[in-house]
Amino acid sequence: MGFAAVAVIGTGFAMQNQQKAARKAERAQKEAGARQEAAQKSQQMESRRNQIRQERARRAQIMQRAGNLGVAGSSGALGAVGSLGTQMGSALGFQQGQGLASQAVGASMQEAAGHQAKAAQWGAYAQLGQSAFSQMGGWDKLTEKFKGTGAPSSTGTPGV
């Protein structure tokens, strides 16, 4: 029995260290996800600024050309400027949708990492239980207690 106790204690110690490592890995994965999300937001903001800058430049070109031609207030010039605004709004909306989808995927990945860590923890518990059960004699020892003479007893309880 001494060896069995040492084996169970050793397994428990290993399981505890495994759990600590799993928690550290989960925290690191969440931190990496947060950093990735911050980097994506930064890229999205830069892209948004570039789109606005380009839209302003196109708007200025349209207004300049319309002024040069003497049609600055015409429906064509106003329509072209309005179209730019619509196109920019559409592009920014799409970009925002992509950003939100990316954030949702990141959150799901972090949640999955947490569940994986929990699964590993429960797996370690099961392994500890199996190890202890095996060290105590396993199924052979357990079924030994329930074995009878093979003949039915008068009380109806096997092995009594």
- Taking each helix axis from N to C end, the angle separating 2-69 and 75-135, rounded to the nearest 10 degrees, works out to 180
Alpha-carbon gap, residue 57 to 44, rounded angstroms: 20
Q: Going residue by residue through the chain, which has 160 residues, state the pLDDT in tens, using 9 for 90 and above.
A: 566 667 667 777 777 777 787 788 778 888 887 888 888 888 888 988 998 899 899 889 988 888 888 888 888 888 988 888 888 888 888 888 888 888 888 888 888 887 887 888 788 778 878 887 887 787 787 777 777 655 555 555 555 5
> Residue 100 half-sphere exposure, CB side, CA atoms within 13 Å?
6
Token pair, residue 123, equals 């797996």
